Amino acid sequence: EVQLSQSGGGLVLPGGSLTLACAASGFTFRNTAMTWVRQAPGKGLEWVSTFTGSFSTTYSADSVKGRFTISRDNSKNTLYLQMNSLRADDAAVYYCAKSPSSDYPYYFDSWGQGTLVTVSS
Amino acid sequence: EVVMTQSPATLSVSPGERVTLSCRASQSVSSSLAWYQQKPGQAPRLLIHGASTRATGIPARFSGSGSGTEFTLTISSLQSEDFAIYYCQQYNNWPLTFGGGTKAEIK
In terms of CA atoms, which chain A residue is nearest residue B33?
Answer: A107
Task: Say which of A45, A50, A61 has its CB closest to residue B44.
Answer: A45
pLDDT at residue A53, as a whole number? 86
> Is B79's pLDDT higher than 90?
yes
pLDDT at position B47 over 90 = yes
Across the interface, of B46, B87, B96, the residue whose CB is closest to A109 is B46
User: B54, B88, B91, B97: best mutation site toward chain A, by most A Cβ within 10 Å?
Assistant: B91
Q: From first to last of the 121 residues of chain A, give the pLDDT tens digit.
A: 999 999 999 999 999 999 999 999 999 999 999 999 999 999 999 999 999 988 889 999 999 999 999 999 999 999 999 999 999 999 999 999 999 999 889 999 999 999 999 999 9
| pLDDT of the residue at A44 | 98
In this prediction, residue A55 carries a pLDDT of 83
Instruction: Say how far apart CA A72 and CA A94 lie, in whole Å.
Output: 16
Q: How far is A9 from chain B (nearest CA, A)?
A: 16
The answer, for B87 touching chain A at a CB cutoff of 8 Å, is yes
For residue A52, the chain B residues in CB contact (below 8 A) are: none
Contact B68, B51 (CB under 8 A): no
The mean pLDDT of B29-36, rounded to a whole number, is 98
pLDDT of residue A120: 95
**Cβ-based neighbour number of residue A27 at 10 Å:** 17
Closest residue of chain B to A104, computed from CA coordinates: B91
pLDDT score recorded for residue A56: 86
Mean pLDDT of chain B: 97
- In SS3 terms, A8-73 reads as CCEEECCCCCEEEEEEEECCCHHHCCEEEEEECCCCCEEEEEEECCCCCCEEECCCCCCCEEEEEE
How far from the centroid of its chain's Cα atoms is residue B76's Cα? 13
pLDDT at A54: 82
- In this predicted structure, the answer to whether residue B52 has a pLDDT above a threshold of 90 is yes
Q: How far apart are CA A75 and CA B9, in angstroms?
A: 43
